[in-house]
Amino acid sequence: MNPGSGLSILSGMLLGVGLWITFLRVPAMRRPTFAERVAPQLRSLDASSRLLRSDLAAPTLERILGPILREALTSISGLGAARSGLDRRLAQAGSSRSAIEFRSEQVLCAGLAFALGSALAIGGSSAGRISAFLAVLLSLSAGAAGFLGREFVLKAAVRRRRRRILAEFPSMADMLALAVGAGETAGAALDRLAGLLKGALAEELSKVISEARAGATLVAALRSMASRLELAPISRFIDGLVVAIERGTPLADVLRAQAQDVRDAAKRDLMEAAGRKEIAMMVPLVFGILPLTIVFAVFPGFATIALGP
């Protein structure tokens, strides 16, 4: 395969993708939704400027791929649970993106990785270093790696943010117990902490206060936070706080007990982490340092025996 034929294949693939996207966007191939059908009749009720809308300010690639991905996602059976799980992971990562935007980013990463892999594959095939089959396999593998790499980045962001929340949680529990013990209500104490604290947990508290101010009850907002984060210590803390609010028990005593439980849980987690690190430290000691020590201790004796008297 010479460079001209490789570039011809790549150009043909890009042309085919473009023609396929154009074909899918033909009005005859796309059924308008109910919202699109009634939008012209309701447009006069919207007093805002169309130039300030978020859909017009969206990137061009997102505006092109968004409807295609939305229709593809809704056409797959059983997608509701998968999409809700993706929305929950995005919320846990602290991202404001929607599932469609995240899938668009995944497609963009896959396309860029596929283009890079194709360029390398064409170069290697033109030089005769790899066969055509390996070139195609390299291109497909690069695209799959780009698609899955964006998913891996999201999972890593979720893990980092959950660790930060757990690290900030004991201090928040103590400050909440002190605020309620000083005479403030639970809502006022959470509002004060959301304004004073900085970090991932402060963002979650701000969401709780925003939902409560928007009309939801404080109990519903707290339960929404627990279901969104899916962290056992926070879920137990919120359950105790909700029970105290619903039954009218003194919040100060309940929060002090919950804060003590959180501190004990943090100590247990620290001891478990220390135990895991201790075991991990034994691996280089046993398989690296100890064999070298034995070699240095035994080798002179074997050398002396080999030399003889």
Return the exposure string of 269-290: e unless at least 16 CB atoms fall within 10 Å of the residue's CB, then b: eeeeeeeeeeeeeeeeeeeeee
Residue 174 reports pLDDT greater than 70: yes
pLDDT in tens, 199-252: 888 888 888 888 888 888 888 888 888 888 888 888 888 888 888 778 877 777
pLDDT for residue 75: 56
Let me know: does 256 contact 177? Beta carbons within 8 Å. yes
Q: How confident is the model at residue 98 (pLDDT cuts 50, 70, 90)?
A: confident
**Residue recorded with tokens 């805002």:** 48
Percent above pLDDT 70 for the chain: 79
**pTM (2 d.p.):** 0.64
Residue 48 reports pLDDT greater than 70: no
pLDDT for residue 257: 78
Q: How confident is the model at residue 156 (pLDDT cuts 50, 70, 90)?
A: very high
Let me know: does 154 contact 90? Beta carbons within 8 Å. yes
Identity of residue 20: W
SS3 21: helix
Percent above pLDDT 90 for the chain: 3
Residue 166 CB-density burial (10 A; 0-12 exposed, 13-18 middle, 19+ buried): buried
Q: Which CATH number is 252's domain given?
A: 1.20.81
Least confident of 35-44, 61-70, 145-154: 61-70
CA-based nearest residue to 88, from 221, 276, 228, 203 = 228
∠ CA 187-192-197, nearest 5°, is 125
Mean pLDDT of the chain: 78
pLDDT in tens, 178-197: 888 888 888 888 888 888 88
Q: Is residue 140 part of a domain?
A: no
Q: Is residue 211 part of a domain?
A: yes
Residue 3 reports pLDDT greater than 70: no
Residue 80 reports pLDDT greater than 50: no
Q: Is residue 237 part of a domain?
A: yes
Rg (C-alpha) for the chain, rounded Å, is: 29
pLDDT in tens, 259-268: 777 778 778 8
Q: Is residue 209 part of a domain?
A: yes
pLDDT for residue 152: 92
* Total number of residues shown for the chain: 309
Q: Is residue 55 part of a domain?
A: no
Residue 62 reports pLDDT greater than 60: no
Q: Residue 146 CA to chain centroid, in angstroms?
A: 16
Q: Is residue 10 part of a domain?
A: no
2, HSE (Cβ side, Cα atoms, 13 Å): 2
Q: Is residue 42 part of a domain?
A: no
Q: Which domain holds residue 245?
A: 163-266
**Residue recorded with tokens 């979720």:** 158
Q: Is residue 207 part of a domain?
A: yes
| Tally of domains within the chain | 1
SS3 184: coil
pLDDT for residue 283: 80
Q: Greatest CA span in the chain, whole angstroms?
A: 108
Both tokens assigned to 188: 């006022």
Q: Which residue has the higher pLDDT, 251 or 55?
A: 251
